[in-house]
Amino acid sequence: MSEPHNPQPGVRDWRDPLCVDGPAGPTAPTTHLVVGFDRHNASHIALDYAIGLARVLNAHLHVAHVIDTDDLPIDPDAADWDHAITEVVERERASACSMLAALPGNWTYHAQRGNPGHLLSSIADAHDASMIVIGAPRHGLASLVERLLGESVSTQLIHHGHRPVLLVPEHSPASARLSRP
């Protein structure tokens, strides 16, 4: 599949890496955390947990949104594919930044295409992060296909990475989440 590259004037091209810095926190962070983010509920739960963890640890939180066009609910053969994916990516960015508003500061949102495990590891390495937080792997056919074709993100991070990985279950009870002051 070829991807026409005709961005509209004034509209950010979703193919270009994006980095959005949140406000500075009231104190300098003492560590860094990286959390994976995508459109799936498990990653939203992981981001919520990572926000609480960042608050407790006084950490700078790096949200890594890996844009995977195969994972988006868009027909790649549609005439307006490029416009549709731009809208989906922007909605996901807005969703993450809205959740991050609960954090008093010290956060960064990163978005780019690529291998999720590699991007999470590279951001963690660049900031000497204490750990990587991700949502627990999906269940069902998508997860099975992912395992048959290669490694899941969690497996890749655990087997090839060198940083602790925290898997947050999608259906974790509220009592397991870190409280917000």
Phi then psi dihedrals of residue 27, to 5 deg: -135, 160
| Alpha carbons 62 and 59: distance in angstroms, whole number | 9
Provide the percentage of residues in the chain whose pLDDT is more than 90.
42
Q: What is the pLDDT of residues 122-140, one digit of tens each?
A: 999 999 999 999 998 766 6
CB atoms within 10 A of CB 46: 26
Q: pLDDT tens across 56-73, in order? A: 999 999 999 988 766 666
Count Cβ atoms below 10 Å from residue 27 Cβ, excluding itself: 10
Which residue from 63, 137, 121 is spatially nearest to 95, judged by alpha carbons? 63
DSSP secondary structure letter of residue 166: E
Residue ranges of domains in the chain, CATH in brackets:
22-176 (3.40.50.620)
Residue located via tokens 């602790």 = 164
Residues 6+ away with beta carbon under 8 Å from 42: 135, 136, 137, 138, 168, 169, 170
